[in-house]
Amino acid sequence: MSRVLLAGLTGKDNDRLQKIYEAVGTPCEVVPTVDGAMERIPANPPALVVVKYDGHLEPIHGVAEVLRTSAPVTAMIAILPDPKLEVAVRVMRAGAYDCLAPTLKPFDVLAASKRAASQKGRALFVAKVERPKKRWVPVTGILISLIVAGNLFLRVFYGPPLDQISLASAHLTGLQWEDRLLWVGDWFESNILCYRVKPGVLKRFRELEATALYKMADGQPMLLCNTPSALVTIGTDLKMRSHQRMVGLPTVQTSSIPGTRPTGLVWDGKNVWTSDGDENSIYRYGEDFKVIETVKSIIPNPMGLAYDKNALWVLGGTPLRLAKLEKMAYGFVWRGPYDVKNLLIEGVTPSGMAIGFNRLWLISGGYPIMASSSLAELTRKASGWFQKESSKRAG
């Protein structure tokens, strides 16, 4: 069996190196002096010699000469008192293959030993280091890789559509993303359309395909949101309605809304919310469509309202800004504002907004293109405040 000869080392270094080599099944022979090692090597050459450099190169030269004449396939490593490059160069020129310095870390010792022995065609701790791994280890690695690759593929395959999409109408005001479904209102045609994003590896393949078309019989939808029980709209007559999702969108419930310029309508998973541009307010409604809470918008002239990840998002102001309203146990917290470049053509004001695929989407009543931008990019840097806001509860 291949062994390591330790020569001229202190007791502490001897003990540490023996533990390191024995941990990989390689026996050690300890010789107190370098002179003793030079006598021992010809009688029984080891696979590797580790000697202590004490500041004199003569012992290193002596061991190197003995190895050259009596054990030409045995390499030598020197242990230095401290890691000085110029000392290591002198020692290696004197015959050492490599040098190590305190602290003697197991990885460094074993890596240097392996390199030195391999350079001479010898093998150290083969059984421990190079033994084939158990079959389940690579199988587990392959399964993990397949799972990661599969998740990555699904994220791409079911990713967002193009950043700009033509919706073939210049009369759009209502907008809502619902997972991969997009709800769009056309007030002029009294239509509400539902699109689904096609899956695809490339973005250009992820087109919108229409899955449903509803035509209102009793109004023109300016704003809309889909809820589990009904489709909710705000019409040009400033009435909020809930509809059955069937031909004609039969009205189930109707209620007047506060303010004169509604700009947003969303569902937060429990309640309906609206915003009003003239009143600079946001309203939360109960099941009977009565206002149960009012929050003043910190963004002047709000132009849109969206809900995503337990927070309301408000768009408005000149220039455009975006703010986030989070519900806390003690009230509401405003975060932002975030500067928003108008994603539509110059001179066109957004008339609807939505958040989907972690992107902000905007439409206009005078422009047929729905445009988007990364929400993470938009909110990377706030341009002002963080503010607590009290709300006014009805009743």
Domain parsing of the chain, residue ranges: 4-129, 135-161, 162-393
Give pLDDT tens digits for 323-365: 999 887 777 888 888 988 878 877 788 888 999 999 999 988 7
User: Is the pLDDT assigned to residue 284 strictly greater than 80?
Assistant: yes
pTM as predicted? 0.60
Dihedral angle at the C-alpha atoms of 7, 11, 14, 16, nearest 10 degrees? -160
Cross-strand pairs, 291: 285
Instruction: Give all strands (DSSP E) within 84-163, no chain letters.
Output: 98-100
Give pLDDT tens digits for 170-211: 788 889 999 999 999 888 888 899 999 999 888 888 889 988
Cross-strand pairs, 193: 184, 213
Q: What is the pLDDT of residue 135?
A: 54
Helix (H, G, I), strand (E, B) or coil at 91: helix
Q: What is the pLDDT of residue 1?
A: 63
**4-129: CATH number:** 3.40.50.2300
Superfamily name with CATH number, domain 162-393 = TolB, C-terminal domain (2.120.10.30)
- Tokens representing 220 are 């023109």
Give pLDDT tens digits for 54-102: 999 999 999 999 999 999 999 999 999 988 889 999 999 999 999 999 8
Give pLDDT tens digits for 117-147: 988 888 887 644 444 455 555 777 788 888 8
Average pLDDT across the chain, whole number? 87
Q: Whole-angstrom Cα distance, residue 243 to residue 250?
A: 5
- Tokens representing 92 are 């290696």
